[in-house]
Amino acid sequence: MALATLLTTPWTASPETALWPRIDRRVRSRPPQRKIEFWEVERDGNRSRVYQFTKRLLDIAGACAGVLLLSPIMLVTFLVLLVATRGKPLFFQTRIGECGRKFTLFKFRTMVVHAERVQKQVVNEQDGPVFKNRRDPRITRIGAILRKFSIDEMPQLFNVLIGDMSLVGPRPPVEPEARQYENWQLRRLAVKPGLTCLWQVSGRCEIGFTQWVRMDLWYIDRQSLLLDLVLLAKTPASVLSGRGAY
């Protein structure tokens, strides 16, 4: 299958294509008007045992290789932030993972320490339940560089090793955002979240939230080892370009 076919733009489909029954098989008999909670979502995507086993092996091998290759960058970043943040170089945040399961996501700190307390003072430039601002005043000068080249995300390789995340999958939201999802959008939580995804290699923050979700649903419907490898292969160029990273 040609790579162009694999990455055919999926976001042209309407929300209705994300069929209601696929959100949660336990509530198929209930009317669509009922608001589904994020913890009610059941697993979806490619549930083949062969695929799941191979994907996990790829995650472990890829994360180990990533930690080894990127350890000099991570060490330097840690030491610089250790001084710049006065001893708080890492940022730990609760995210929503597969089927609504909460886990702790690891990142290098890119904002001021009290960033979450003053978020309401910053204008959200994105549509939908996701917060993004190109000139967010809470981001430090060092943090802006780390974000541009996704260095702040490198500690998530340990999330992959733990098993909370995969190398490829939808990006994990925070709980307040997940609570605002429409029923059809919840399906993006039906697979394990990842470090990279179609959104990540297609412009990131340049893409609106609805379009972003449709990309994730497209991935879920076509999940395969080949598609994972294609997205992984496209990630380095996307990261180095810095496109849509803020």
- List the pLDDT tens digit at each of the 246 positions of the chain: 445 555 544 444 444 444 434 444 444 445 556 889 999 999 999 999 999 999 999 999 999 999 999 999 999 999 999 999 999 999 999 999 999 999 999 999 999 988 888 887 887 777 788 888 788 889 999 999 999 999 999 999 999 999 999 999 999 999 999 999 999 999 999 999 999 999 999 988 788 899 999 999 999 999 999 999 999 999 999 998 888 666
pLDDT at residue 79 in the model: 97
| pLDDT for the residue 33 | 66
Q: Are strands 194-196 and 90-96 parallel, antiparallel or unpaired?
A: unpaired
Is the Cβ–Cβ distance between 187 and 23 less than 8 Å? Answer: yes
User: What is the model's pLDDT at position 14?
Assistant: 43
Q: Classify residue 182 by burial, with Cβ atoms within 10 Å: 0-12, 13-18, 19+.
A: middle
Q: Are 134 and 161 in contact (CB under 8 A)?
A: no
Spatial separation of the C-alpha atoms in residues 66 and 76, rounded to whole Å: 16
**Which of these, 185, 192, 198, 214, lies nearest to 24 by C-alpha position?**
185
* 3-state SS class at 105: strand
On whether the CB atoms of residues 144 and 110 are closer than 8 A, the answer is yes
Beta pairing partners, 139: 111
- Partner residues linked to 108 by β-bridges: 90
Cβ-based neighbours of 168, under 8 Å, separated by 6 or more:
194, 195, 196, 197, 219, 227, 228, 231, 232
* Residue 216: predicted pLDDT: 97
Q: What is the pLDDT of residue 241?
A: 86
